[in-house]
Amino acid sequence: MNTELTGVVVTFLLTVLLAFPLGRYIAKVFRGDRTITDFMNPVEKFIFRFSGIDPAKKMNWKEFLKAMLTINMLWFVYAFFLLLFQDKLPLNPDGNPGQTPDLAFNTAISFLVNCDLQHYSGESGVTYLTQLLVMNFLMFVSAATGIAALVGVLNGLREKTTNNLGNFWSIFTKTVTRILLPLCIVVALILVFNGTPASFDGKDTTTTLQGDTIQVSRGPAAGMIAIKHIGTNGGGWFGANSAHPLENPNYFTNMVELIAQMIIPIAMIFALGFYLNRKKLAYVIFGVMTVGMLLLLIPTIHWETAGSPAIEKLGVAQPMGAMEGKEVRFGPASSGYWSIVTTIISTGSVNSMHDSSMPLSGMMQMLGMMINAFYGGCGVGILNYLVYIIIAVFIAGLMVGRTPEFMGHKVEAREVKIAAIVTLFSAFLLKAGVALAAYFVAHHPEMAWAVKPSAWLNNPGYHGFSEMLYEFTSANANNGSGFEGLGDNNIFWNVSTGIVLILSRFIPIIGPVAIVGLLANKKFIPESPGTLRTDSMTFGMMTFAVIIIINALSFFPALTLGPLAEYFSM
Amino acid sequence: MKNNKTALFPRDLVMTALKQSFVKLNPRSMFRNPVMFTVELGTFVMLGVCIWIAAGETSQGSLAYNAFITAILFITVLFANFAEAIAEARGKAQADSLRKTREDTPAKKVFAVGEIFTNEIKIVPSSELRKGDSFVCEAGDIIPMDGEIIQGLATIDESAITGESAPVIRESGGDKSSVTGGTKVLSDRIIVKVTTEPGESFLDKMIALVEGASRQKTPNEIALTILLASFTLIFIIVCVTLKPFADYANTSITIAAFISLFVCLIPTTIGGLLSAIGIAGMDRALRANVITKSGKAVETAGDLDTLLLDKTGTITIGNRKATHFWPSGNTRENDFIEACVLASLADETPEGKSIIELAAGKGVKHTPSANGIKFIPFKAETRSSGVDLRDGTKIRKGASDAIKNMVKKTGNGFPVETEDKVKEIAQNGGTPLVVSRNESVLGVIELQDIIKPGIQERFERLRKMGVKTVMVTGDNPLTAKYIAQKAGVDDYIAEAKPEDKMNYIKKEQQGGKLVAMMGDGTNDAPALAQADVGVAMNSGTQAAKEAGNMVDLDNDPTKLIEIVEIGKQLLMTRGTLTTFSIANDVAKYFAIVPALFITSIPALQALNIMHLKSPESAILSAVIFNAIIIPVLIPLALRGVAYKPIGASALLRRNLFIYGLGGIIVPFIGIKLIDMVLALFM
């Protein structure tokens, strides 16, 4: 095995090795056991007293969701106005302008929903103030919202029969103080010591070897880059994201950032096992997700390291693999690994340009986002997986001749209905968006928007279709990465993806919380030999099959016209 | 009547079903089935397209091709309707044959105030009997209607219903007072009160359920329908968004291709067979001679966790039997057995007979000459019976304490070893009978419950399904425990009173379990109502039958086990066919999607992995396959998927392999074959 592949394998193994104890720690935090972060107690107590919150108040699933949605709405309004008027506010050393309303709408939503689509460039589109008080702030709270929703769900599954999902405010606060903040401090320190800037000074001027003078943007970036990965957010300080030498200086920081973005999603799986005391279930879920990741990853690394067949036809040797759009300091294997990791979990940060990936690698990235449950984003990945489980439980339950049960509760029409709606919406939002975009490109190429539809696409034909497909897939998965070929800072893309973002964020959170709220309220049925065990390999296989079939059936035609057509035409 | 193995498609039923499949095309009835309703809509659209082409439109392909697709879609709907209709017809035919026996039987109706005198009896057709009327039945009469005996006792031949030829005794009062229309009175005279209005008997209700008039979707069916409807919606989205996608790719797609893609993708196979599966479940119950009052009851049966079973008749053969002779001390065995035989000569109880049988098996025959023997019948005071021989010898047999008292009175001792034996037998769940001659103890006869052969295996099978069995018996706890262990039941209720059953059911239900029980008496009624599945015996009282949600015509307590399997089969058939139906879509995608784009994107030929001849033949093959898979699977839908108690995970693996993997592979082969045939004509 060559060094590049070894790097990938070591990075993954390190991630799992670190995620396991972290999972146990997270379970302890929410169980209320003693942990090493108990010194945060006074801080939390102050926050609760200051905000008038009774952290012991029980919440049923409706109250839980109400609290979550209300605070999210407030954050949106706050972020929107700050972005709109950022040019008039302090901490703007580079004199950047305020955002247009449609861009501010898109940006505010995008960061609120843990997506970070970024239709602007960090160097010129935002100020230090908005980077810190909007981007950085929302990165913390959006990740905490996702984790809190999952913990609420776990609370429902933990008791035999209950209508108490725990106190949203308390879970949310603890997520920030006990999990996100400590981890971010560690990662930020590592980044700073490797050269990432953390300064309030404006642009710096340097003279290059050729004697040109260039302006180098900087700012208090290290902290944001830490939470960008720890919180699976993905929004970069700089426009080029983690391909930028100051955002991701070397192979070591590359590894750290890879581990940082994957650690909480994997730790949450183990936390589920410890918290519910169903370790086997956690291992089965981890197994299914890992197999899913490998099936996307291995071909991707193969295609990326093999190089482009088009260049090969020209008789040019590609010993380094496909290097277009990649950084030499990372290489194709690590870039391929990053591109899959960042798409299966909902980070969306990039260390290479996905637009330049091989067609089928691009398809793998899109599949990762369409499925959105192989590890998935902070907390929400498991919530997405739960929806697949409900459908799998239902079909499998029927197949063994018993009314389906999950964790001792009967899965009936209402739960199936909610799971079906969530699945349906994901397919609908994604394809309706692409259809709309394709319609404008095909029928109204000269619409008088800031960027005309005819100029949206960097590439014609199948790859252009992939660019549109990728953008909506990314929005629908709350991922935030982009096929950067797309001219997306205009009213169509800002508004359409903004709407897709907000729906595809909250429907898949409301759905599972409601399902578990309803399930937890039902009578508990003890397991018998006739019960289909959800922590068995067989059921893991079943869930995997459901995931593959649902996504294949929903997206096969679209993928055919994009990456598949491109691949076969090469 | 026990024609449980009728052919799947008798000719007359097929004819009725064919007619019904056209009647069911009415959109109002199609609307109940959202999947097939959309196919019907698609057919109408295609009909419009055909007319459009006939009027001169040229962009939509040839008229023949479009007309062919329209025809296949129409046939798809018909096939689905046929599946439902044939299931209905079979269920109805089964119920009709049960009902026919009681129609237009002359009834001897009793008029409280007649034209000439009170309680006058007149012969009227049975159809004129109303609830509350009474009629008389005498030896040789066919009972005209279901009812309850209010006066008298009769032996009745119920073979018309149960297939069991041995006559049964029914009498007024008590728990055996119910009679069923169509059965025959063999002896004596009874007066019966009609308990149901005509057309409202359980059988009538069941027929209404099967015919669909009052058929309600069961909870699982509703959930599945929701899931299928959402799959249908996903495919609507797929097809609608494909239009702008194709526009972008500069490909024009005909309406026929769109509708074909859509119809192939939506789960028509399960959609078409869903109601047939439900009806077939009730029908299978009926073939097992169980009348269900709702489809839900059958479905619930598949989920049962706990079965309450009466010991007598279910676990043991009705009566106890002698299994051992234990002579005491110095008594010779043959002597003892002879005494036992003599003591039992006049004993007409099954226990007494079994003693003689056992003795005969040991080579001791009783002397047939009973001359001069004086039989002493069993009396409650003495709690013993026996004979006084001509020579004055008194032989007695009875409960050990009764004999002990008798023996002690005369000053004789009660042997210690007999005492021990008595205790031992009682501990093992048996009944000891002590035999004495002239007030001295000869030995003990051991009577034991005989556990039905094969019952252990059935309980083992239930255990593998995850069903707990509970034995209910009036025996003392010691006996109950012994028999429970021997028969392999999981739990028992000893010295059970009716309220004990009720409490046990409530306790189990509080633990989240579904409980079934079988009962016949009026005092069983509350428990039958409380149980999730209450099976009343047809011989039971009206109250019991009203309280339960199933009636077993055979009065066979082991029927519960069959009912559980029928319920499981019902759910499994739905689950497996859903999986099969959805898995089929993979192959259909590979047939249709390349066909749609191959003209404008030739590179997509690589996706045509089946090497179908042309885009038209590919689409046609997929649509034809989609249509004919429905009738091909009707037999499976009607018979149900075989249930194997191999544990849930193993069962899931097996069904995933057969119906999941099979569902992916079969259509690849099927579509390719159809395409090869079509290639000969196109």
- Among A420, A542, A552, the residue with its CB nearest the CB of B656 is A542
Is residue B394 within a helix (H) or strand (E), and if so which, with residue range? strand B394-398
Give 3-state DSSP helix, strand, coil % of chain A, rounded to 5: 65, 5, 30
Mean pLDDT of B431-452: 85
**pLDDT of B19 strictly over 50:** yes
At B577-620, the pLDDT tens digits run: 999 999 999 999 999 999 998 888 888 889 999 999 899 999 99
Taking contacts as CB-CB distances below 8 angstroms, the residues of chain A near B575 are 395-401
- If you ran DSSP here, which 8-state letter would residue B132 be given? T
Q: Given this model, what pLDDT does residue B367 score?
A: 60
Q: Which of residues 485-514 of B touch A (CB under 8 A)?
A: 511-513
Q: How far apart are the first and last CA of chain A?
A: 29
What pLDDT is stored for residue B6 in this prediction?
A: 57
The model's confidence at residue B371, banded by pLDDT at 50, 70 and 90, is low
Rounded Cα distance, A354 and A48, in Å: 43
Tokens describing residue B436: 């004495």
* Structural contact between residues B283 and B94, judged by C-beta atoms closer than 8 angstroms: yes
User: What is the band of B310 on the pLDDT scale with cuts at 50, 70, 90?
Assistant: confident
Residue type, B619: I
- Averaged pLDDT, B451-460: 81
If you measure CA to CA, which chain A residue comes closest to B510?
A523
With beta carbons less than 8 A apart as the criterion, state whether B122 and B137 touch.
no
Q: What is the pLDDT of residue A364?
A: 95
Which range, of A171-180, B150-159, B616-625, averages the lowest pLDDT? B150-159
Calculate the CA dihedral of residues A501, A503, A509, A510 and round it to 10 degrees. Answer: 160
Task: Classify burial at B632, counting beta carbons within 10 Å of its beta carbon; exposed 0-12, middle 13-18, buried 19 or more.
Answer: middle
Separation of alpha carbons A420 and A390, rounded Å: 9
Rounded to the nearest integer, the mean pLDDT of chain B is 84
Residue B259 has pLDDT above 90, yes or no: yes
Contact residues on chain B for A507, CB-CB shorter than 8 A:
none
Structure-token pair, residue A231: 């919180």
For residue A266, pLDDT beyond 70? yes
A156 vs B108, more confident: A156
* pLDDT (0 to 100) of residue B68: 93
Amino acid code (one letter) for B234: I
Closest CA to B526 of B511, B548, B541: B548
CA quadruple B595, B600, B605, B610: dihedral, nearest 10:
0
Each residue of B636-662: pLDDT tens digit?
A: 998 888 888 787 888 899 999 999 999
Q: What is the DSSP string of B596-630?
A: HHTTT-GGGGGG-TT--S-HHHHHHHHHHHHHHHH
What is the band of A14 on the pLDDT scale with cuts at 50, 70, 90? Answer: very high
- Mean pLDDT, rounded, of chain A: 91
| Nearest residue to B145 via CA among B130, B157, B123 | B130
Residue B337's pLDDT is: 86
Q: Find the closest chain A residue to B301 by CA distance.
A: A402
Instruction: List all residues of chain A from 418 to 477 with a beta carbon under 8 Å from chain B.
Output: 420-421, 423-424, 427-428, 431-432, 434-436, 438-439, 441-443, 462, 465
Q: Which residues of B touch A401 (CB under 8 A)?
A: 302, 567-572, 575, 643, 651
User: Pick from B249, B571, B583: which is nearest to A561 by CB?
Assistant: B249
* Predicted confidence (pLDDT) per residue in A488-504, tens digit: 788 889 999 999 999 99
Q: Are B308 and B470 in contact (CB under 8 A)?
A: yes
Overall average pLDDT of the B64-77 stretch: 94
Q: Are A106 and A494 in contact (CB under 8 A)?
A: yes
Query: Which entry of B133, B175, B310, B556 is annotated as an active-site residue?
Result: B310
What does residue B42 show for φ and ψ, rounded to 5 degrees? -60, -40
Residue B384 identity:
S
How far is the alpha carbon of A430 from chain B, nearest alpha carbon, in Å? 10
Q: What is the pLDDT of residue B1?
A: 37
- Percentage of chain B modeled with pLDDT above 90: 21
Report which DSSP code applies to A39. G
CB A473 within 8 A of CB A497: no
| Residue B570 with chain A: CB contacts under 8 Å | 401
Are the Cβ atoms of A532 and B643 closer than 8 angstroms? no
What is the rounded average pLDDT of the residues B442-462?
A: 83
Question: B200-204, B252-256, B505-509, B538-542: lowest mean pLDDT where?
Answer: B200-204
Nearest CA in chain B to A413: B223
Helix extents (H) in A447-490: 461-476
Q: What is the pLDDT of residues A334-378, one digit of tens each?
A: 999 999 999 999 898 999 988 889 999 999 999 999 999 999 999
Cα A25 to Cα A6, A143, A153, A272, A273: the distances in Å are 29, 18, 18, 11, 12
Report the residue of B216, B217, B225, B226 to disrupt the A interface, i.e. the one with the largest count of A CBs within 10 Å: B226
CB contact under 8 A, B652 and A402: no
What single letter denotes the amino acid at residue A161?
Answer: T
Is beta strand B106-113 parallel, antiparallel or unpaired with respect to A405-406? unpaired
| Whether B105 contacts B146, CB under 8 Å | no
The answer to whether residue B265 neighbours chain A at the CB level (below 8 Å) is yes
Hey, are the CB atoms on A395 and B578 less than 8 Å from each other? yes
Determine which helix (DSSP H) or strand (DSSP E) holds A138, and give its type and residue range.
helix A137-158
A528, A529, A557 ranked by CB distance to B245: nearest: A557
Tell how many helices (H) and how many strands (E) occur in chain B: 23, 21
Q: Both tokens of residue B256?
A: 């026929």
Which run of H or of E encompasses B376?
Answer: strand B374-376
Average confidence (pLDDT) over B211-234: 80
- Residue B366: partners with Cβ closer than 8 Å, 6 or more residues away: B338, B341, B342, B345, B356, B359
Interchain pair B512, A524: CB under 8 A: yes
Nearest CA in chain A to B655: A399
User: Which residue among B227, B464, B643 sits closest to A529, beta carbon to beta carbon?
Assistant: B464
Question: Rounded to a whole number, what is the distance in Å from the CA of A212 to chain B's nearest CA?
Answer: 44
The residues with which B446 forms a beta bridge, in sequence order, are: B324, B432
Q: What is the dihedral of CA A43, A49, A53, A58, to 10 degrees?
A: 70
* Assembly ipTM: 0.89
- Kindly determine whether residue B237 and residue A552, on different chains, have CB atoms separated by under 8 Å: no
Average pLDDT of the segment spanning A234-244: 87
Q: Could you give the dihedral angle defined by the CA atoms of residues A160, A164, A166 and A168, in that order, rounded to the nearest 10 degrees?
A: 140
In the annotation, is B310 catalytic? Answer: yes
What is residue B540's predicted lDDT score, i.e. its pLDDT?
A: 75
Mean pLDDT of the region B308-336: 80
Please state, for a pLDDT cut of 70, what percent of chain A lies above it: 100
What is the pLDDT, as a whole number, of residue A185? 94
Nearest CA-CA distance, residue A92 and chain B, Å: 43
Q: Is A529 on the interface with B (CB under 8 A)?
A: yes
> CB of A469 within 8 A of CB of B273?
no
Contact (CB, 8 A) for A525 and A410: yes
**Structural element, H or E, at residue A441:** helix A413-443
Does the beta-carbon distance from B222 to A413 stay under 8 Å?
yes
More confident residue, A289 or B145: A289
Q: Does B451 touch chain A (CB under 8 A)?
A: no
pLDDT at B344: 82
Question: How close B174 comes to chain A (CA, Å)?
Answer: 38
**DSSP one-letter string for A192-215:** HHTT--B-----EEEE-TTS-EEE
**pTM score:** 0.85
The span from the CA of B304 to the CA of B323, in Å, is: 36
| CB-based contact, A557 to chain B, within 8 Å | yes
Determine which of A393, A402, A518, A528 to mutate to test the interface with B (most B C-beta atoms within 10 Å).
A402
pLDDT higher for B208 or B458? Answer: B458
| Nearest-CA distance B135 → chain A (Å) | 46
Residue B152 backbone dihedrals phi, psi, to 5 degrees: 100, -175
Distance in angstroms (rounded) separating the CA atoms of residues B178 and B558: 21
Examine the pLDDT at B2 and tell me if it is beyond 50: no
